[in-house]
Amino acid sequence: MYGMVQERVTRQVRVKILKYVDLGWIDLEDIDDPSMYAIARWYLRIKRLQREISSLRASSRARRLCAFS
């Protein structure tokens, strides 16, 4: 889904907007263009899921290490 929406906006604009969203300089509500809003929303969702996966892997690894100790 992210890839489909991503094709609607030029790479230069997309990179700049996602950088600003990532740094917290702009919020989703500040984006007027529907395509850019969708890209930013999907981008933030992807980043959140990546953080959750990383956290789950770390806690799983810690549990396995404790089980073998």
pLDDT at 56: 96
- Report the distance separating Cα 3 and Cα 6, nearest Å: 5
CB 38 within 8 A of CB 5: yes
When divided into structural domains, the chain yields a total of 1
pLDDT at 67: 77
58 is in which domain, residue-wise? 2-68
**Number of helical H runs and strand E runs in the chain:** 3, 0
pLDDT at 49: 97
Of 65 and 4, the one with more pLDDT: 65
- Report the distance separating Cα 31 and Cα 67, nearest Å: 48
Query: Which residues are CB-neighbours of 20 under 8 A, at least 6 positions away?
Result: 26
pLDDT tens for 6-38 read: 777 888 988 899 999 999 999 999 999 888 998
